[in-house]
Structure 1
Amino acid sequence: MTSDLLAGKVVLVTGASSGIGAASAKVFAREGATVVVTARREDRLAALVEELRGEGAEAAYVVGDVSAPQDAARAVDFAVGEYGRLDSAFNNAGIGGDRTPLHLMSDDVYDSIMDINVRGVFNCLRHEIAAMLQNGGGSIVNNSSVGGLVAIPTAAPYIASKHAVVGFTRAAADEYAKQGIRVNAVAPGTTRSEITTDWFGRNPGLEELANSLTPQGRTAEPEEIAAAAAWLLSDRCPFLTGVVVPVDGGFVNQ
């Protein structure tokens, strides 16, 4: 069931080849949005766009790596060139990295996490905001994590990166509020995705532990995160900016 939350809006979704990103593209399209998706895996994007178009949605894809400034710019430029404007964006692209004690963490793991999770959001924000300023405003949601609000052992670079996403969200929201651009973030708890499936597969018992620490006692489905992002991107909350919404089954509220 949909409510046309995003009817008439052109929305960009990064990291859309799987998990929360793919689920968000589907939710946004069903809420009436024209969806532009971007990620590194073209086969996944092509299949997603074909599915969305099969359901009657307007959708297109751009292959790219958001850690590369030119790729982030190209995705935004494509949306504006193809559909005339960019109304909203969900900066979802991110990676999890290794579950390793800090003193054993490698430079390569640190660099890859920071490039995607932090530089990627920075690259997207600056190009999305520039496009939205030409359009008189817009709405952006960044995907942080409960790891952007609390600490989780053996994941220090990931935790640092998601705290940085929170910082970017608050800074951009403050800087562009008077120019009609709202910037918020979602902070998912344990959510079914390629990242968590990989973590759970390499760390037996981790999912059960995470669920035991979550009041609802379960792992979220990616569509549940997408639903929160859709509301934040919509016009239903025009006075809401600079906030980080935990979508975590009550984890950080204990």
Structure 2
Amino acid sequence: MARLEGKIALVTGASSGIGETTARVFAREGATVVLVARREARLVKVRDEIAAAGGKADYVVADLTGPCACDRVIDTVIERFGRIDVLVNNAGIPDKHMPTTRTTDELWNQVVAVDLTSVFRLCRAALKHMEAQSSGSIINISSIGARGLAGAAYSSAKAGVIALTRNIAIQFAGKGIRCNATLPGPTPTELNTPEALATFDPQMPGITARHFDLSVPEATTGDQAAAILFFASDESKAITGQCLTVDHGATL
């Protein structure tokens, strides 16, 4: 069943992890997927593998923290394909669970720039075209960290993503444009390998771990992509402004 047949879908952070898996799933479901990330070699690899599997994909190399980068990405999609039907704001960076007292201005600004400001800018740019075509679905990837279960900068940025999601949904309710968010729980990606976790704050991970059930399984990138696909497809055409936690119940 091709749930995204004929759709033009943009996925950020598509060179690895949740973004890469989502791009592959979207392509299998019939979408033309535009992959966005900073690492061109990885984008080429994913694009070529999607094409080899019979899917359609293109890519745009971009550092989304640049002041004009988000507009350029959306403009490129419109120039190449004439429309944008689905936007998945997945690109993000961790803050290594740094608590408020150990979060520097530099770290705060860096995390907010990627995890919140770029989401806002991409939504703003894409919405102009979605509004003109009276259709579109935006899926913003927040996190269970939005509940405070991460470092100060990451938690704040991901909470901001939820607020932005609801704000957009309120503005465009009933106009053919939907905006929803997923909140992934712990999911094995390059951002949380044992090597990466070794660089995290020595105390904050243990503090946040007290507040969710570590005995449940970790979600996979496929689990996350399935939730994103639901929001991208017409199966969720009556749903907007909602946040779906994907964590096997770890934070119930």
- Normalising to structure 2: TM-score of the pair? 0.92
Structure 1 residue 215: deviation in Å?
6.9
Which string of whole-angstrom CA distances, capped at 9 and with x for unpartnered residues, describes residues 93-124 of structure 1?
11112222321211111110000001010111
Secondary structure of the residue aligned to 2:161 is helix
Structure 1 residue 75: deviation in Å?
1.7
Deviates more, 1:166-175 or 1:50-59: 50-59
- Decide whether aligned partners of structure 1 residues 212 and 156 sit closer, same or farther in structure 2, where only a CA change above 3 A counts: closer
Query: What aligned pairs does 1:243-254 form with structure 2 within 5 A after superposition?
Result: 243-253=242-252
1:136 alignment counterpart: 134
* Corresponding position: 1:24 with 2:22: yes
* Corresponding position: 1:228 with 2:227: yes
Q: Is the 8 A contact 2:96 2:199 kept in 1?
A: no
Q: Tell me the matched-pair count.
A: 248
1:239 alignment counterpart: 238
2:74 alignment counterpart: 76
Distance 1:29 1:201 in 2: 35
Structure 1 residue 92: deviation in Å?
0.4
* Corresponding position: 1:156 with 2:152: yes
List runs of 5+ in structure 2 lacking aligned partners: none
* Corresponding position: 1:202 with 2:223: no
Q: Is the 8 A contact 2:21 2:225 kept in 1?
A: yes
Distance 1:216 1:7 in 2: 39
Distance 1:251 1:47 in 2: 34
Distance 1:246 1:211 in 2: 18
Q: Is the 8 A contact 1:211 1:218 kept in 2?
A: no
Structure 1 residue 211: deviation in Å?
11
Percent identity, please. 37
Distance 1:211 1:141 in 2: 29
Q: Which runs of 4+ in 1 moved over 4 A?
A: 209-212
Distance 2:225 2:213 in 1: 19
Which string of whole-angstrom CA distances, capped at 9 and with x for unpartnered residues, describes residues 189-208 of structure 1?
0011111225434359x69x
For residue 182 of structure 1, what is the amino acid of its counterpart? R
Structure 1 residue 134: deviation in Å?
1.9
1:170 alignment counterpart: 166
Q: Is the 8 A contact 1:9 1:33 kept in 2?
A: yes
For residue 92 of structure 1, what is the amino acid of its counterpart? N
Q: Is the 8 A contact 1:214 1:249 kept in 2?
A: no
For residue 140 of structure 1, what is the amino acid of its counterpart? I
Secondary structure of the residue aligned to 2:80 is helix
Kindly report the root-mean-square deviation, in angstroms, between the aligned alpha carbons of the 2 structures.
2.1
Distance 2:144 2:104 in 1: 23
List runs of 5+ in structure 1 lacking aligned partners: none
Secondary structure of the residue aligned to 1:186 is strand
